[in-house]
Amino acid sequence: MKSPLTLINRKESALPPRPENRGLTRKMMNLNGRTLRRRTPDNEAVNSLIATGISPPLARIYAARGITSANDLDTGILGLAHYSKLLHAEKAASLLADAIRDGKKLLCIGDFDVDGATATTVCVQGLRAMGANIAYLVPDRFRFGYGLSAEIVRVAAERNPDILITVDNGMSSIEGVTEANRLGMQVIITDHHLPIKGITPEAACIVNPNQEGCPFPSKNLPGVGVIWYVLAALRAELRKRGILEQDSNEPNLYQLLDLVALGVIADVVKLDRNNRILVEAGLKLIRAGKTRPGIKALFQVAKTRIQTACSSDLGFNIGPRLNAAGRLDDMSQGIECLLSDNLDRALPLAQTLNDLNNERKSIESDMKDSALEILEVVKADQRNALILHDPSWHQGVIGILASRLKEQYHRPAIAFADAGDGLLKGSGRSVTGLHLRDALDWVNKTHPGLIQKFGGHAAACGLTLKTQNLAPFTEAFETAVTTLLGDETSLDPVIETDGELTPHEMTLELADELALGIWGQGFPEPLFDGKFKVLQQSIVGEKHLKLRLELDGAQIAGIYFFNTELLPDEATLVYAVCINEFNGLRSLQLIIRDRHT
């Protein structure tokens, strides 16, 4: 499955050639065990973008991500796809409008990750603002597991709701919906996960951009985005009925986009244009200080500047703190933080989330140590998939562990924890080129009964096995991965860059533009590579390398976090461009992400 080094051709550029690249092809270089590969932007798109006033380096970056015109970069709210394109959104709106009119009791069934928490908050806050009688219930992941199970439906029935609304779940809840119908409760499903082929829950209404026949252009909409669109349809329905008057007594759904942005980024869905618009709008609210107290409190305990909030802050600082509640305790704490109407109430909840996140980090570190010991015996480089289990592992942290192992070994990875009653619960993460849910479906079809239940999408999955089936599942999944990847797909780890920057392209203006950009899944943060002279280097803070570098006669500062190994006099470095602020002064700095010596 391993591939040899190959040549990557850079398309001939209409721009003046950069010094080290005049008309040359360039080998992929091995970079600390990873292969360096440069993205190749379409030359016509680059020139088109430059003609609109976009700088050459930004034009190359955008073109390499599929942007062909300045219109593709327009993240104004008016560019959002309309709710009428989301199949059954208007039907759900009609059902909800009837429920509000009749004073029916609604219960939102949430999920225990960030997408689920933000979706629950949007659902509850939005529907209350429109006059609904609504509460929420989030399943305990350790007792009930994911989704609208029959058991959680019976728990929900104790509250006597008329209608259950699922957010970020429901498409695989066949038994749960059947039980709700038996108990006399309607179910409205709002979800984004792939449906089970050939099986659809018997719900009163299903809103999901990935269901068959839905023409909605953004198939990457997360759960929080789906319920936000349903609220938009409901608001229009209530206007039509004369219950709401525009610019008078209707709720401002724009004010919910801080939650939507957080859910989009934290759920690692592809940042297509529609999702970038949602994130841009939400970040504007956050930076302007117009976000809700719960998000302000989370920024405060994370010691992150809210005025310069960016997508990576949501993904790496805010999201994990919310996720920690669902992983180790009760996601209701996260939802209550987001629902808080003042900072005094939100701050103690945010601090609890911060403490849980620190506990999660400690648990994760111990689990990773034991996983690495297992992999020394398993010999990870000789397998195409990593399947690991340890009786001591925490159910709530196995997803993060799988993600860390996937990143380190560039293999699809599934980590299992004991779930009691002779069962194992697993959480998996995949690499580009392998659709994880399709791999599980392959196993399920070729080895019926081996998997108790499973669900997920291309990049992540969850599943349940009987303990005695772990060994046969390991071999079946290895075969599935090998079969689906084929001979042409390499599992060698690759780091992609946007090529070289010249010294005159390394500007504060570029760094500012990149800092404010919407980067994430499917629209990756720009990285660059280049060969530098190392003029000075010293270890700071006992674990970071501070650098003074030279490129084509120009000197620039650099920092290599969590690295204490000194560099040679010349080194090829992979880096991000950022701004260092100190004592009120702003200067350019390269953050080194990798090196080739």
* DSSP calls for 174-210: HHHHHHHHHTT-EEEEE--SPPPTT-----SEEE-TT
The pLDDT value given to residue 456 = 77
Strand 460-466 and strand 494-497: the pairing is unpaired
Residue range 22-35: mean pLDDT, rounded: 49
Residue 7 in this model has a pLDDT that exceeds 60 = no
How far is the first Cα of the chain from the last one, in angstroms, to the nearest whole number? 26
Structure tokens at 496: 């992609």
Amino acid at 321: R
For the sheet containing 29-31, what is the strand order? 29-31, 34-38, 494-497
Half-sphere exposure of 562 (CA within 13 A, CB side): 2
More confident residue, 375 or 567: 567
- For the domain made up of 78-252, the CATH class stated in words is alpha beta
Rounded (10°) angle between helices 257-266 and 114-129: 160
326 burial class (0-12, 13-18, 19+ CB within 10 angstroms)?
buried
Helical (H) or strand (E) element with 577: strand 570-582
Residue 292 in this model has a pLDDT that exceeds 90 = yes
Residue 442 in this model has a pLDDT that exceeds 50 = yes
What's the pLDDT tens digit per position in 480-495? Answer: 999 998 765 667 778 8
More confident residue, 488 or 595: 595
Helical (H) or strand (E) element with 8: strand 7-8
Q: How confident is the model at residue 32 (pLDDT cuts 50, 70, 90)?
A: low
Nearest-Å Rg of the Cα atoms of the chain is: 25
Half-sphere exposure of 424 (CA within 13 A, CB side): 26
Query: What 3-state class would DSSP assign to 120?
Result: helix
The pLDDT value given to residue 23 = 28
Beta-bridge partner residues of 25? none
Backbone angles phi, psi at 199, to 5 degrees: -130, 125
The pLDDT value given to residue 468 = 96
Taking Cα atoms as reference points, which of 101, 108, 112 lies closest to residue 122? 108
Is the separation of the CB atoms in 100 and 119 below 8 Å?
no
Residue 10 in this model has a pLDDT that exceeds 90 = no
The pLDDT value given to residue 567 = 95
Q: What is the distance of C-alpha 317 from the center of its chain?
A: 13
Distance, in Å, from the CA atom of 148 to the CA atom of 151, rounded to the nearest integer, reads: 8
What's the pLDDT tens digit per position in 154-172? Answer: 999 999 999 999 999 999 8
Q: How confident is the model at residue 453 (pLDDT cuts 50, 70, 90)?
A: confident
The pLDDT value given to residue 20 = 34
CA angle 312/317/321 to nearest 5° reads: 140
Distance, in Å, from the CA atom of 122 to the CA atom of 84, rounded to the nearest integer, reads: 19
DSSP single-letter state for residue 82: P
Is the separation of the CB atoms in 574 and 497 below 8 Å?
yes
Is the separation of the CB atoms in 74 and 68 below 8 Å?
no
Identify the residue whose tokens are 């029959």.
150
Architecture of domain 379-485: Roll (3.10)
Residue 29 in this model has a pLDDT that exceeds 80 = no
Amino acid at 593: R
Amino acid at 363: I
Distance, in Å, from the CA atom of 111 to the CA atom of 90, rounded to the nearest integer, reads: 24
Distance, in Å, from the CA atom of 566 to the CA atom of 62, rounded to the nearest integer, reads: 34
The pLDDT value given to residue 428 = 94
Distance, in Å, from the CA atom of 350 to the CA atom of 336, rounded to the nearest integer, reads: 10
Structure tokens at 569: 């006099």
Query: What 3-state class would DSSP assign to 139?
Result: coil
Distance, in Å, from the CA atom of 46 to the CA atom of 64, rounded to the nearest integer, reads: 9
Q: How confident is the model at residue 33 (pLDDT cuts 50, 70, 90)?
A: low
The pLDDT value given to residue 17 = 34
70 burial class (0-12, 13-18, 19+ CB within 10 angstroms)?
middle
DSSP single-letter state for residue 72: G
Non-local CB neighbours of 554 within 8 Å, separated by 6+ positions: 503, 506
Give the CA distances from residue 109 to residues 119, 122, 127, 166, 396, in Å, rounded to whole numbers and listed in that order.
10, 12, 14, 5, 19
Taking Cα atoms as reference points, which of 276, 172, 175 lies closest to residue 222? 276
Distance, in Å, from the CA atom of 523 to the CA atom of 66, rounded to the nearest integer, reads: 9
What's the pLDDT tens digit per position in 513-553? Answer: 999 899 998 899 999 999 999 999 999 999 999 999 999 99
What residue ranges do the domains of the chain occupy? 7-73+494-596, 78-252, 379-485
Amino acid at 85: K
Distance, in Å, from the CA atom of 124 to the CA atom of 332, rounded to the nearest integer, reads: 13
Distance, in Å, from the CA atom of 325 to the CA atom of 335, rounded to the nearest integer, reads: 9
More confident residue, 190 or 19: 190
In the chain, what percentage of residues exceed pLDDT 90? 77
Beta-bridge partner residues of 31? 34
Helical (H) or strand (E) element with 328: helix 319-328
User: 57-61, 232-236, 486-490 — which is least confidently predicted?
Assistant: 486-490
Residue 346 in this model has a pLDDT that exceeds 90 = yes
Q: How confident is the prediction for the chain on average, in pLDDT?
A: 90
What's the pLDDT tens digit per position in 542-559? Answer: 999 999 999 999 999 999
Is the separation of the CB atoms in 179 and 203 below 8 Å?
no
Residue range 69-83: mean pLDDT, rounded: 93
What's the pLDDT tens digit per position in 260-275? Answer: 999 999 998 899 999 9
User: 154-158, 427-431, 456-460 — which is least confidently predicted?
Assistant: 456-460
CB crowding 549-583: b at 16 or more within 10 Å, else e: bebeeeebebbbeeeeeebeeebebbbbbeeeeee
- For the domain made up of 7-73+494-596, the CATH class stated in words is mainly beta
